[in-house]
Amino acid sequence: MSEDAINICWRAPSNIALIKYWGKKDHQLPINSSLSITLESSSTTTSLSFRKRSTKGKKIHLKYYFHDQQHLIFEEKIERLLDDLCAEMPFLTDFELDFHSSNNFPHSTGIASSASSMCTLALCLVSMEELVSRKKLTEDDFFRRASFIARLGSGSASRSVFGGIVTWGYSPFISHSSDEYATPFPIQKESRLNQLWDLILIVSTKEKAVTSTSGHLMMNDHPYREGRKIQAESNFRRMVEAIGEDDFQTIAAIAENEALSLHALLMTSSPDGLLLQSNTLHLIEEIKRFRTGTGLELFFTIDAGPNLHLIYLEEHRERVLSFVKNSLLRFCEDGQWIDDKIGSGPVRL
């Protein structure tokens, strides 16, 4: 391998879960299967430049730049992660590693930036591994390994490795599924689900009081933990069936049940995590009223924060956009929203 620095660059999208991953077991494994839609636009781009060190070090040597500024908090976090990853990727300490990362969506807007950023990090590392080991993986093995590595950084990142609809967690209903990595969920070419749009309504851009990682921890001794596992597995199975049958109404009902269940779990955690805001509730009421009045196919979902994702079919786009502008943006911070849709997954640049 040459002494010059080698560059690798990946762009990866975020994703929005319809069946929520909430609660962990062992080392970054989920207590239930989850299912998400990979987004198209909201993404992170990360480049990794690596150069052989003159002497073999014992510790990781890295610099981490976010939007061209060295970011010491992220740097420390990534350093800890890569230290742990050395058991999997022992070559990491032989190189100086420079990461440059940027998001194309604002921070704290209800889009999981850890999903897209950990996904790009994992893709860069697995590309590096291929070069260093001079072993080319098959496409399937490459993305499966990237999903496995991404999961160790952030659970939801394991799903961003694939486009379309993606599951993570072992389920008897999904072939090749595993707790260790995500699995793409094929949808029929003619399915209307290939034309899902996600309009993200930004209720607040303030840092969340409860991070996802601390929320997962609160599930460890949550009084409803066992009940949640049963509910999630049942919702997952019904969601998989509904997607197979292109049954939008059932998909919508389960997704909304999941979003509200996630917040019910947060509110009944100790200490409580009340993340919904009054404007989130106004949005829910308006969306339900609009759906009842028009019969349009749309639903909401919410991650661990106050912002709301309005998911709808492309054929309703015009009517949804005018509904949003006329009735929903007044509940958003400075009228902010993001226009996104189902996407085809990461791209090597």
Q: Contact positions toward ligand DP6, by CB under 6 A? A: 17, 20-22, 34, 112, 114, 154-156, 212-213, 216, 262, 303-304
Choose among 184, 113, 196, 93: nearest CA to 154. 113
Rounded to a whole number of angstroms, the minimum distance from the CB of residue 1 to ligand DP6 is 32
Measured from the CB atom, the residue of 195 and 213 that comes closer to ligand DP6 is 213
Residue 295 contacts by C-beta under 8 Å, 6 or more apart in sequence? none
Contact criterion met (CB below 8 Å) for 120 and 101 = yes
Residue 306 CA to residue 325 CA, distance in Å, equals 19
What's the chain's length in residues? 349
Contact criterion met (CB below 8 Å) for 101 and 45 = yes
Please list, residue by residue across 114-130, b when 16 or more beta carbons sit within 10 angstroms of its beta carbon and e when fewer do: bbbbbbbbbbbbbbbbe
Rounded to a whole number of angstroms, the minimum distance from the CB of residue 198 to ligand DP6 is 13
Rounded to a whole number of angstroms, the minimum distance from the CB of residue 64 to ligand DP6 is 17
Rounded to a whole number of angstroms, the minimum distance from the CB of residue 91 to ligand DP6 is 25
Measured from the CB atom, the residue of 155 and 345 that comes closer to ligand DP6 is 155
Measured from the CB atom, the residue of 24 and 291 that comes closer to ligand DP6 is 24
Contact criterion met (CB below 8 Å) for 38 and 163 = yes
Rounded to a whole number of angstroms, the minimum distance from the CB of residue 330 to ligand DP6 is 26
How far is residue 20 CA from its own chain's centroid?
10
Quick one: angle between helices 113-133 and 139-153, nearest 10?
A: 130
Rounded to a whole number of angstroms, the minimum distance from the CB of residue 90 to ligand DP6 is 24
Rounded to a whole number of angstroms, the minimum distance from the CB of residue 222 to ligand DP6 is 14
Measured from the CB atom, the residue of 38 and 154 that comes closer to ligand DP6 is 154
Burial class for 32, CB neighbours closer than 10 Å (0-12, 13-18, 19+): buried
Residue by residue, DSSP assigns 284-314 as: HHHHHHHHHHH---EEEE--SSS-EEEEEEG
Q: What is the largest CA-CA distance in the chain?
A: 69
Rounded to a whole number of angstroms, the minimum distance from the CB of residue 118 to ligand DP6 is 7
Phi and psi (nearest 5°) for 71? -120, 100
Rounded to a whole number of angstroms, the minimum distance from the CB of residue 15 to ligand DP6 is 7
Rounded to a whole number of angstroms, the minimum distance from the CB of residue 133 to ligand DP6 is 27
Contact criterion met (CB below 8 Å) for 99 and 123 = no
What is the DSSP code (8-state) at residue 95? E
Residue 50 CA to residue 267 CA, distance in Å, equals 45
Return the H-helix or E-strand segment holding 111. Answer: none
Contact criterion met (CB below 8 Å) for 262 and 215 = no
What is the DSSP code (8-state) at residue 194? G
Measured from the CB atom, the residue of 46 and 156 that comes closer to ligand DP6 is 156
Instruction: Look up residue 123 and give its amino acid.
Output: L
